[in-house]
Amino acid sequence: MSPRIFLLEDVFDKDIVSIKGDNARYISTVLRCNTGEPLTLLDNRGNSYSAVIVKSLPSEVVVRLTGKDEDIKTELPIDITLAQAIPKGDKMDIIIQKATELGVKRIIPIVTERTEVRITRRLNRWKEIAISAAQQSRRLRIPEIESPVGFNSFMAEASSGIIFWEKSENSLKKVIRDYKPGGSITIVIGPEGGFSDEEIKAASERGFQHVSLGPRILRAETAAIVAVSIIQYELGDLQEDN
Ligand code: SAH
């Protein structure tokens, strides 16, 4: 399988493409790709192109486009937005990586009442993690990682979705029946300290249903991965025969 690179420039109508900057350095020095070797280029609009390297230097990589790859279906049939309260340490990195592999469309880092982190400005790092995870998992699109927002501002913009709350008595299995493949779903996961009762009340007023993930308390990163996996299984493409 040839290395995959997202190229966010409008170059795909040409036969010969010059790649510079970080991508060139990455292809020539990290991936150590040589002249004559294949490369897959992705435009982040759902298209994948085969290419062959004609020059590989850290300052410039030149490729010849050899064709467009058809029929690649690595994007989920449902748009999942994950609104995640930023957890401590580097757990957000793991959540972004895993949620990208599992196919989420958008991640919104949120700051809640009990969010304990001070530094919420890791946006560039999170975006880079999303790009590598999208390349590695052979996705055609990089998930959007939005700037962190406060819980209230997030709720003011949102209209409906699912909020995961360990005290809820509602089952995800039932609530998920309201959603269909082809549509979209927003899910909200709390920080280590959980959501406050006021936050759950505010979410309910905005049309969010609270649900439980069972009687055990999961860590925030586990809850995010499990929630996305269940939705992918129920409404996505996990169960299809390939
Ligand atoms: N501090 C809380 C747990 C927070 S767990 C307590 O000990 O009670 C972090 C987040 O993961 C929660 O805000 C929730 O969104 C999610 N979560 C963890 N376990 C869950 C469960 N059993 N049901 C629903 N959500 C859960």
pLDDT over 80 (residue 73): yes
Q: Give the mean pLDDT of 58-72.
A: 94
Test site for ligand 1: of 166, 187, 212, most ligand atoms within 8 A of the Cβ: 166
Query: Domain total for the chain?
Result: 2
Rounded Cα distance between 239 and 102, Å, is 13
- Whether residue 74 is contained in a domain is answered as no
- Whether residue 240 is contained in a domain is answered as no
Banded pLDDT at 13 (limits 50, 70, 90) = very high
Shared-domain flag, residues 107 and 201: yes
DSSP 183: S
DSSP 15: S
Q: Is 194's C-beta closer than 6 angstroms to any atom of ligand 1?
A: yes
Residues 6 or more apart whose CB falls under 8 angstroms from that of 27 comprise: 3, 5, 19, 33, 39, 53, 56, 61
Measure 165 CA to ligand 1 centroid, in angstroms. 6
Nearest CA to ligand 1 atom 3: 194
Q: Give the mean pLDDT of 206-233.
A: 96
What range does the domain containing 157 cover? 79-235
Shortest-distance atom of ligand 1 to CA 217? 19
Shared-domain flag, residues 28 and 110: no
Q: Give the mean pLDDT of 10-24.
A: 94
CA 58 to chain centre: 29
Shared-domain flag, residues 119 and 186: yes
Domain endpoint, select from 13, 35, 69: 69
How confident is the model over 93-133, as pLDDT tens digits?
A: 999 999 999 999 999 999 999 998 877 679 999 999 999 99
- Whether residue 242 is contained in a domain is answered as no
Q: Give the mean pLDDT of 35-39.
A: 97
Q: How confident is the model at residue 236, as a pLDDT?
A: 80
Rounded Cα distance between 202 and 144, Å, is 25
Q: Is 82's C-beta closer than 6 angstroms to any atom of ligand 1?
A: no
